[in-house]
Amino acid sequence: DAGVTQSPTHLIKTRGQHVTLRCSPISGHKSVSWYQQVLGQGPQFIFQYYEKEERGRGNFPDRFSARQFPNYSSELNVNALLLGDSALYLCASSHGTGAPSASTDTQYFGPGTRLTVL
């Protein structure tokens, strides 16, 4: 089975532009989470979606938005890009069923999208 896929692999944008990142979860997984990882830091939680509904949001500005489609794939959108948005954006896939902290909710990461804002 294919793992989590993300596109594009790399992206270069300029300040003020908009970007859309895409993610397809592992087959059978219904939940997608998005994380931002700045160099030298651990991933920071942005959003989690399950069955097209937002199930969690991290401390990111409203410039960040996401959605999930009926096939469980997801998009992360970032508006009005800032230099500080340069990072590795990670998508993580999980079953999503069950209560939080359940073993079925273990998250598996995709290869990431490297965003550079100039």
Partner 1 sequence: QKEVEQNSGPLSVPEGAIASLNCTYSDRGSQSFFWYRQYSGKSPELIMFIYSNGDKEDGRFTAQLNKASQYVSLLIRDSQPSDSATYLCAVNHRGTYKYIFGTGTRLKVLA
Amino acid at position 36, single letter: Q
Name the segment binding partner 1 (CB under 8 A); options: 7-15, 36-44, 61-69, 71-79. 36-44
> In the structure encoding, which two tokens stand for residue 55, read together?
């199930």
For partner 1, the closer of residues 15 and 32 by Cβ is 32
Q: Could you give the 3-state DSSP secondary structure of residue 4?
A: coil
Do residues 108 and 6 touch, judged by C-beta distance below 8 A? no
> Cβ 49 to partner 1, closest distance in Å?
10
Using a 10 angstrom Cβ sphere, with 0-12 exposed, 13-18 middle and 19 or more buried, the burial of residue 83 is exposed
Rounded to a whole number of angstroms, the distance between the first and last alpha carbons of the chain is 37
Pairing, β 44-50 against β 19-24: unpaired
25 is a contact residue toward partner 1 (CB under 8 A): no
106 is a contact residue toward partner 1 (CB under 8 A): yes
Out of 78, 81, 112, 117, which residue is the one contacting partner 1 (CB under 8 A)?
112
Out of 1, 2, 28, 41, which residue is the one contacting partner 1 (CB under 8 A)?
41
For partner 1, the closer of residues 14 and 106 by Cβ is 106
Provide the binding-site residues for partner 1, judged by CB under 8 A. 31, 33, 35, 40-45, 48, 50, 55-56, 58, 88, 90, 92, 94, 96, 100-101, 103, 105-112
